[in-house]
Amino acid sequence: MQDLLSRGRWIRALLLYLLAALLVFCLAPWVGGESISAGQVVRDITGKNAVLSTDTQIFVYQRVPRVLLGFLVGGALAVVGSVLQVILRNALAAPSTLGMTGAGSVGAVIAISIPHLAFSWGPFSSVQLFALLGSGVGLLFIYMLARQKQGISMNTLLLAGVTIGILCSAIIPLIKYLANPDMLVAMDRWMMGGLDVVGYRELAALFPLLVPGVGMLLLQGLNLNHITLGEEMALGHGVDVAAVERISFLAGALATASAVSMVGPIFFVGLIVPHIIRRLSGYDQRIVLPGAFLAGGAFLVLCDIIARTIVAPTEMPVGIITAILGGPFFIILLLRKK
């Protein structure tokens, strides 16, 4: 594995990931179910036309926010997955391991099941608020179970998170059973995960929670390197292990809850991308975390391109694509390791 303890190598690796992500980011808004004229869009924007053509409207209000959303959510999920795989010492850990995905889904499904419940609070819709509430309840539950005199027990965290996930997998069918059948389609569609967003107002809902969450995680690179040597060894080296684990757990939960509330549960991004980055760039978390953010964002955006072009003019939920791509990818990865 590569030695990444030098600043020069770190910068070079980071630049490569940045370039790749930028490429995807710049090309993605031009691709979609409806073909738009690049020339028209550029003319409208540069000419500062008061009335925008349909193509430009699609570009500015549908495509760009969607790509932005995909980037932020995919990046967040990949970073959370990377951090969890280290602090839980488990290569199969993913954002859903924290139970936020399940708990948030319960909240959202409850909101959808309540007829005529359509309000908004700031940039948050009712479904988003309920999803965040659900995640909040799940977070409290797990924290109460896992906390110790000094810090959080990582073993209990893993078990509690998985348990909440399983519980929620049982509660959701129960809610669906009790709900008005007219609501079932909406619930199912939400559960498949989708990046359909129009305009930038909804994106603003990510900023109070997801961005700070991811920001805090990205700063933990060096500390996480030490934690891979074991909690006691890390403590001996001078790392405040309890604080790092607490921050990682809370920031990870925040970012995941926020992502789930906006786009529903999306699996495999947070599980697979960390493995790929570690294979490409080695184990140094100082490159794995930002690399995962950039690659995870690009990955979800690419999946979304497939999702909105493969059955054009309609769209597929992006969660289906990540699962279809992610599953076999992971199997290949496992087979290679053998």
Partner 1 sequence: MNESLLTIEKVCFSYQNSGWQLRNISLELSSGTMLGIIGPNGSGKSTLLKISAGVLAPLSGQILLGKDNIKNKPRRKIAGQLGYLPQNTSSMFDYRVEEVVALGRYPYLSGMGFLQKEDWQIVERCLDQTEIKIYRDRLISQLSGGERQRVWLASILAQEPQVLLLDEPTTGLDLHHQVAFFGLLEELAQNGMAIAVVTHDLNLAGQYCRELMLLRSGEKIISGLVGEVIQDDILAEVYQESLYVGRHPVNGRPIVLPVKK
Minimum Å distance from CB 284 to partner 1? 8
Nearest to 258 by CA among 164, 123, 168, 162: 123
Q: Which is nearer to partner 1, 18 or 311 (CB)?
A: 18
Question: Residue 6 interacts with partner 1 (CB under 8 A)?
Answer: yes
Q: Which is nearer to partner 1, 161 or 221 (CB)?
A: 221
Q: Which is nearer to partner 1, 201 or 237 (CB)?
A: 237
User: ∠68-135-242 over CA atoms, to 5°?
Assistant: 95
Question: Residue 215 interacts with partner 1 (CB under 8 A)?
Answer: no
Which residue in this structure is represented by tokens 């925040």? Answer: 254
Amino acid (one-letter) located at 305: I
Minimum Å distance from CB 257 to partner 1? 26
Question: Residue 327 interacts with partner 1 (CB under 8 A)?
Answer: no
Question: Residue 238 interacts with partner 1 (CB under 8 A)?
Answer: yes
Strand partners, 246: none
Minimum Å distance from CB 2 to partner 1? 9
Quick one: which of 122, 144, 232, 337 contacts partner 1 (CB under 8 A)? 232
Quick one: which of 226, 259, 264, 301 contacts partner 1 (CB under 8 A)? 226
111 Cβ partners below 8 Å, 6+ apart?
A: 117, 126, 127, 129, 130, 131
98 Cβ partners below 8 Å, 6+ apart?
A: 80, 84, 142, 157, 161, 249, 252, 253, 256
Nearest-angstrom CA–CA distance, 303 and 319:
9
Q: Which is nearer to partner 1, 6 or 314 (CB)?
A: 6
Q: Which residues bind partner 1 (CB under 8 A)?
A: 1, 3, 5-7, 10, 86, 89, 149-150, 221-222, 225-226, 228-230, 232-233, 235-240, 278, 283, 286
